[in-house]
Structure 1
């Protein structure tokens, strides 16, 4: 149980922890899990795929941090 209910997962409901423990004890190994039917069902319900181009993309403009540039220049010498 300590592998399932860690300090970062302490806010899980008891029923969720119970389900995770059940899957951990009697579930098949991850290598035998086939996610394709579940993914198809997800997309068929109108959800977007991870590669959907209609999703918003993050603007990745790099900001120039002058304070750090000075520090980096000192470290190069």
Structure 2
């Protein structure tokens, strides 16, 4: 009996299917996306990268405040 290669579905695949029902099939079948779709994907990736950078910058700027609040709670509730 020949062994079958297991195909796993990751979270990214689930997100893609929620946007386009054929995306997982096309990915597994090796179908290439059109040039227009590739442009949309690139712009979407850029937008996600910019959002992630903004979130990281905001979290970094508020890190000192969280440490200060934690210090106050430790002092007050020892």
TM-score normalized with structure 2 length:
0.27
- The answer to which structure has the higher helix fraction is 2
Q: Tell me which of the two structures has the higher relative contact order, counting C-alpha pairs closer than 8 angstroms and 6 or more residues apart.
A: 1
TM-score normalized with structure 1 length:
0.27
